[in-house]
Structure 1
Amino acid sequence: MTQVVFYILPQSLDNEPEDVSAHFIQACAIAAFYYGQSNKVFIFTDNQQDAFSVDEYLWQFDGDSFVPHNLLGEGPRYGTPVEISWQPPTHPRQILINLSSNVPKFAINFQQIIDFVPASETLKIAARTRYSTYKKMGLTLSTHAVTNDNAVESTKKAED
């Protein structure tokens, strides 16, 4: 059964770059966590520009723990451990990190879906709609509040 975890984000995360959304930063931390557990991750965005932003942020992410990643269609034949795209995946993966404003039609193909409730009221409304859609799909749902103190550690705690 597919499990969905919604990360409820605080107003802002410490050390957040101005040009990167908090949920993009958290998505990169979660991708790094799952990569460290030998899982294949697919990060889905609304558009090409968002995919490029996530790709760029992953290149600048924690220098001590490089996360092999690429945009869909680049790199090795079956992709790197973390793929990013605004288009459906072409190969099976365990984890979907949804940065899209909608529930992807292919979401049911993943063992686990990570989604976000950003602090912005407009984005919260979209998150509530996605939550409702996942629920109607019969998926197992849970939430996890992220604080400035536990932004990176929150993934480990949500796994427990």
Structure 2
Amino acid sequence: MATEVTFYVLSEGQAAEEVACTLLIERLQRRQRIAVMANDKQAAEAFDELLWSLPAERFVPHSLVGEGGAGGAPVVIGWDQPLSDYGYQKHLLVNLQAHAPDVAHQFRSVIDFVPADTAGKEQARERYRQYRRQGLTLTTQQLNEPT
């Protein structure tokens, strides 16, 4: 079964990180284990802080790579660490990086984003090409309202 990559097309004013929070909550309800890959340590820590700022009813159990228990939290956030550092096998990859991770094919599914700005769209097109070269199944989904 090929890995499915879904690109979410963001509207003006939508941030990938904020939409990712909502998608994480939905996927956790399906009991999926999730890896989030950020551009660098600073971006990973910022996403970690964003998750901690969610209201209690939207709590996302998460940790940064290397923190928490031996198996890792249901959501583990990293940047350039090897996939083995994320703990138990993850079902879903949420890509917040500027490139397509080489390990994307090791997940059942991948979530990626197409920002509204021109530079962001071009980076997303390049990631799309990178995923296609990896032989992954690609779809696009429009998001109409800010999350």
TM-score, normalized by the shorter chain, greater than 0.5 = yes
In the alignment, which residue of structure 2 is the partner of 1:2?
3
Q: Distance in 2 between matches of 1:98 and 1:111?
A: 13
In the alignment, which residue of structure 1 is the partner of 2:23?
30
Look up the equivalent residue of 2:110 and give its one-letter code. Answer: I
In the alignment, which residue of structure 2 is the partner of 1:18?
none
Aligned CA RMSD, in angstroms, stands at 1.1
Question: TM-score, normalized by length of structure 2?
Answer: 0.92
Q: Distance in 2 between matches of 1:72 and 1:94?
A: 16
Name the SS for the 2:24 alignment partner. helix
In the alignment, which residue of structure 2 is the partner of 1:16?
none
String of CA shifts for 1:116-158, please: whole Å, max 9, x gaps.
Answer: 0011211111100000111121111100011116x4xxxxxxx
Q: 2:50 aligns with which of 33, 38, 57?
A: 57
Look up the equivalent residue of 2:144 and give its one-letter code. Answer: T
Which runs of structure 1 show a deviation greater than 6 angstroms over 4 or more consecutive aligned residues? none
Gaps of 5+ in 1: 14-21, 152-160
Gaps of 5+ in 2: none
Look up the equivalent residue of 1:115 and give its one-letter code. Answer: D
Question: TM-score, normalized by length of structure 1?
Answer: 0.85
Aligned-pair CA distance for 1:62: 3.4
Name the SS for the 1:64 alignment partner. helix
> Sequence identity, in percent?
37
String of CA shifts for 1:19-59, please: whole Å, max 9, x gaps.
Answer: xxx00111111111111110000000110010001100000
